[in-house]
Amino acid sequence: MTDKNLGSRRRFLKGGAALGLTTAVVPAVRSQESSDGLSRSAYGVRSRYVTSKRIGDGGNNSDFESEYNTLSPIQNQVGIITPSALHFNSSHGASPPDIDPHEHELMIHGLVDRPLKFTMAELQRLPFISRIHFIECSANYPLPKDVTVQHTHGKTSCSEWTGVPLSLILNEAGVRSGAKWIVAEGADRDSHSKSIPLQRALDSCFVAYGQNGGPLRPHQGYPLRLMVPGAGGFSHVKWLRRIKVVDKPYLTPSERFNELHGPKSVITFPSGGQQLLERGYYTISGLAWSGAGRIQSVEVSTDGGRKWQPASINGPVLPVAHTRFSLAWNWNGKETTIMSRCTDDVGQVQPTAIEFARSRGVSVDKVLSREVRRQGHWNLVFPWKIASDGQVQHHYWV
């Protein structure tokens, strides 16, 4: 950015738009305590002016219907880490199970020489790793009714996860010849289960007890979840209690979804439901991620996809992690469409709708159809239309 640009920006900044700050109803009095009775000195709370929250995927901000899907407010997030309290949730049952960690055990059985049980204390004595990884629900796709990026892309979050490599545990149990898969089972009401190829389990999976420096949150599987870096959210079995080593994929409801998520990105500012109040300088910002590895580059178009400019990367670039990008932009006040696309370090490029439709042999108006959505991870380039009055709306296909 040149000084000339900055000079022009400053003129518009004088206008004092309140973008990026929610003008929300602020509680006049705020509890001096956090929710477990600790003082704010013992366990800190947010400022009373900070009000961002998860919403249900019905799009109603106050009614969650069920807790199947709660969406992370990625339009308000900065950096790459998702605050633990705002991590998206997609699980069965109205509430997370209330598990006493002193009672919880992980069982390893099936095609192993030595079936094993681990208490949480035993697991926490073992060698561990700590990795910053996104988890994205495979059903993280937009619907026509969606308004904000929280609706269209809010089923992805990124945390530092800490736990024990599954290879260590499986080697300790002694995997028998003929074993090809594992089945992981959670302690939730429905005993959610998922089959994972054994080779992936040995290569990259771990059983995580830590999230962003603390224990897992209840909605994220406290006290233990499976991490399957880069795979769909439902592979990351929460409240993990059992791993069975087997010779073929069990008929779990989801045994077919085992591909790693492809490269994906979205602009979080400006995004749906926001409004640019004036022409002038803005920093376009967004998130990019890939289940296959690191993000190598991100490009942004501010003219509906005719020209693509390289975006800046603004923070850590880690494997299978959210990556923050941005682009300095002077908006001329005219209607336009903005979008981002990313490339990962194995060379995969996020497809546009037209490219995606061509590769699947469907017409471009079908890229959001139920059949296409159910084929797996939906990672298309996602455009936002900015009207001449600054209103931002989803604008599916350019």
Instruction: List the interface residues with its own copies, window 82-111 (CB under 8 A).
Output: 82-87, 89, 95, 98-102
Alpha helices in the chain (DSSP H): 3-13, 120-123, 149-153, 166-173, 198-203, 353-360, 370-373
Q: In the complex with its own copies, which residue's Cβ is closer, 4 or 370?
A: 4
Cis peptide bond N-terminal to 223, omega within 30: yes
Measured from the CB atom, is 15 or 253 closer to its own copies? 15
Segment near its own copies (CB under 8 A); pick from 204-212, 244-252, 303-311, 344-352:
204-212
Binding flag, residue 213, its own copies (CB under 8 A): yes
| Closest to its own copies by CB, 41 or 359 | 41
Q: How far is the CB of 292 from its own copies (least distance, A)?
A: 19
Are 122 and 258 spatial neighbours (Cβ–Cβ below 8 Å)?
Answer: no
Q: Counting contacts by CB under 8 A, is residue 210 touching its own copies?
A: yes
151 is a contact residue toward its own copies (CB under 8 A) = no
Paired sense of beta strands 312-313 and 309-310, if any: unpaired
Give the number of other Cβ atoms within 10 Å of residue 88's Cβ.
26
Q: Is 113 one of the binding residues for its own copies (CB under 8 A)? A: no
* Helix (H), strand (E) at residue 134: strand 129-136
Whether the Cβ atoms of residue 338 and residue 398 lie closer than 8 Å to each other? no
Identity of the residue, 26 or 251, whose beta carbon is nearer to its own copies in the bound complex: 26
Which residue has tokens 């020489």? 113
Q: Does 4 bind its own copies (CB under 8 A)?
A: no
Site map 372..391 versus its own copies, x via CB under 8 A: --------------------
Query: Cα(106)–Cα(99) distance, rounded to whole angstroms?
Result: 13
Amino acid found at 205 = C
Given candidates 115, 214, 310, 347, which one binds its own copies under the rule CB under 8 A? Answer: 214
- Using CB under 8 A, pick the residue from 106, 108, 111, 120 that binds its own copies: 120
| Nearer Cβ to its own copies (125/256) | 125
- Out of 4, 44, 334, 370, the only residue in the binding site for its own copies (CB under 8 A) is 44
Give CA–CA dist 127/129, Å, rounded. 7
Which residues fall within 8 angstroms of residue 113, CB to CB, at 6 or more apart? 173, 174, 175, 176
C-beta closer to its own copies: residue 45 or 364: 45
Give the span between the Cα atoms of 97 and 91, in whole angstroms: 11
Question: Binder to its own copies among 4, 113, 127, 177 (CB under 8 A)?
Answer: 127
What is the torsion angle, in degrees rounded to the nearest 10, for the CA atoms of residue 301, residue 303, residue 304 and residue 307? Answer: -50
Binding mask 310-349 for its own copies (x = CB under 8 A): --x-xxx-x-----x-x-x---------------------
- If the CB atoms of residues 165 and 262 are measured against its own copies, the closer one turns out to be 165
Tokens of 17: 């738009």
